[in-house]
Amino acid sequence: MRSDRNARAPLGLKIAAAGGLAFLHLPILLIFVYAFTTEEKSYQWPPPGLTAKWLAVTWNRPDVWEALGLSVRVAAISTVVAMVLGTLCAAAVSRTRFFGRETISLLVILPIALPGIITGIALRSAFNIADIPFSFWTIVLGHATFCVVVVYNNAVARFRRTSSSLIEASMDLGADGFQTFRHVVLPNIGTALLAGGMLAFALSFDEVIVTTFTAGQQATLPIWMLEELVRPRQRPVTNVVAMVVVLVTFLPILAAYYLTRDGDRVAGAGK
């Protein structure tokens, strides 16, 4: 549907749309103000004064760095696993017609369609049954499971747009399966994979519900934040961390948007 050429939006609609967008964005902007407040004991508004000293305080906190480091490592490895699994699955589903295709799509979407608490508790009780101690790897296992879907969605959309005759053309010109993958398939789905990987990274970096069930004593950054939310002890540091998290997750999302904006609908709805 193209936009109305002659019509202009009714005023009521404009106000409702602008109001909705403001409702979505103002709370996040508020985080940026609170990161610089001088008040440490309460959430007082308006801030009595502004200071940048909490940035330095947070910078020197080893527990924050440790949590951040763990989150980055978990997100990086989960992303790699999800990219491999998601791409394989997307290639199989879009290149071949076989019995049970729908089931496979459903299986990929399930870990994100079911509430996170179900995935979390299911994995936790499975680890207990199998006597697997909680570790870095149990966190990764949980994260990779629900990250597959974003890579899969992006890759499927791109495969659908890539004409199947390109692969035939490559084989026709003498390239075998591996050469075709290297010279034709990979360059054509590369940006979609990159976008899917970035979204997977953002998803993993931010995940808390499944993580509370699959992490032992280790704290990822969201777990660190959750503890602060439940029992606030160091409000100013939490404010700064919240701001950093917003900035860190925005960058991959923007990058993913620019990588896929011509053509594929960014697989945002797949979250």
Partner 1 sequence: MTSPSHAILPGRGGMFGTLSDALWRNPRLLLFVMLAPPLLWLGVIYLGSLFALLAQSFFSIDEFSGLIRYEWTLKTYAELLRPSNLDIIARTVIMAVSVTLASAVIAFPIAYFAARYARGKWKALFYLGAMLPLWSSYLVKIYAWKLILAKEGILNWIFAKLHLTALLEAWLALPVIGGNSLSVSYTGTFLVFVYVWLPYMILPTQAALERVPESMLEASSDLGASPAQTFRHVLLPLALPGIIAGSIFTFSLTLGDYIIPQIIGSSRLFIGQAVYAHQGTAGNIPLAAAFTVVPIVIMGFYLWMAKRQGAFDAL
Partner 2 sequence: MQTAVAFSKVSRHFGQVRAVDGVDLEIGEGEFFAMLGPSGSGKTTCLRLIAGFEQPTFGHIEIFGETAEGVPPYRRNVNTVFQDYALFPHLSVADNVAYGPMIRGVPRAARMKAAEEALELVQLPGYGARQPGQLSGGQRQRVALARALVNKPKVLLLDEPLGALDLKLREQMQEELKTLQRSLGITFVFVTHDQGEALSMADRVAVFNHGRIMQVGAPEEIYRAPRSRFVADFVGSSNILPPEAVERFAGRKAWASLRPESIRLAATGGRAATVLGHSYLGAATRLTVDMDGQRLTVLLPAGADVPANGTRIEIEWKASDLHVMEDDT
Q: Which residues bind partner 2 (CB under 8 A)?
A: 163, 165-166, 168-176, 179, 183-184, 187-188
State which residue, 180 or 220, has the beta carbon closest to partner 2: 180
Radius of gyration over every alpha carbon of the chain, rounded to an integer in angstroms: 22
36 binds partner 1 (CB under 8 A): no
Taking CB under 8 A as the criterion, the residue among 73, 136, 191, 206 binding partner 1 is 206
160 binds partner 1 (CB under 8 A): no
Size of the site for partner 1 (CB under 8 A): 89
Token pair of 77 as six digits:
């490895």
Interaction mask 85-104, partner 1, x per CB under 8 A: xx-xx-xx---x-x-----x
Kindly indicate which of the ranges 61-69, 162-170, 189-197, 225-233 contains the residues binding partner 1, using the contact rule CB under 8 A: 225-233
Q: Which does 206 bind (CB under 5 to 8 A by kind): partner 1, partner 2, none?
A: partner 1
Residues 6+ apart with CB under 8 A from 237: 54, 57, 58, 61, 64, 228
Token pair of 47 as six digits:
């801030």
Q: Which does 168 bind (CB under 5 to 8 A by kind): partner 1, partner 2, none?
A: partner 2
35 binds partner 1 (CB under 8 A): no
d(CA 151, CA 198): 9
State which residue, 177 or 232, has the beta carbon closest to partner 2: 177
Kindly indicate which of the ranges 58-66, 72-80, 154-162, 199-207 contains the residues binding partner 1, using the contact rule CB under 8 A: 199-207
Token pair of 207 as six digits:
């995940």
State which residue, 51 or 188, has the beta carbon closest to partner 2: 188
State which residue, 27 or 49, has the beta carbon closest to partner 1: 27
State which residue, 15 or 173, has the beta carbon closest to partner 2: 173
Please report, as residue ranges, which positions from 112 to 141 form the binding site for partner 1 (by CB under 8 A): 113-119, 121-126, 129, 141
246 binds partner 1 (CB under 8 A): yes
Q: Which does 85 bind (CB under 5 to 8 A by kind): partner 1, partner 2, none?
A: partner 1
Q: To the nearest whole angstrom, how small is the minimum distance from the Cβ of residue 39 to partner 1?
A: 9
DSSP assignment of the chain, as one string? Answer: -PPPSS----HHHHHHHHHHHHHHHHHHHHHHHHTTBS--SS--SS-S-B-SHHHHHHHT-HHHHHHHHHHHHHHHHHHHHHHHHHHHHHHHHHH---TTHHHHHHHHHHHHHS-HHHHHHHHHHHHHHTTPPP-HHHHHHHHHHHHHHHHHHHHHHHHHHS-THHHHHHHHTT--HHHHIIIIIHHHHHHHHHHHHHHHHHHHHH--HHHHHH-SS---HHHHHHHHHHS-S-HHHHHHHHHHHHHHHHHHHHHHHHHH-SSSPPGGGG-
236 binds partner 1 (CB under 8 A): no
84 binds partner 1 (CB under 8 A): yes
Token pair of 57 as six digits:
């305080």
189 binds partner 1 (CB under 8 A): no
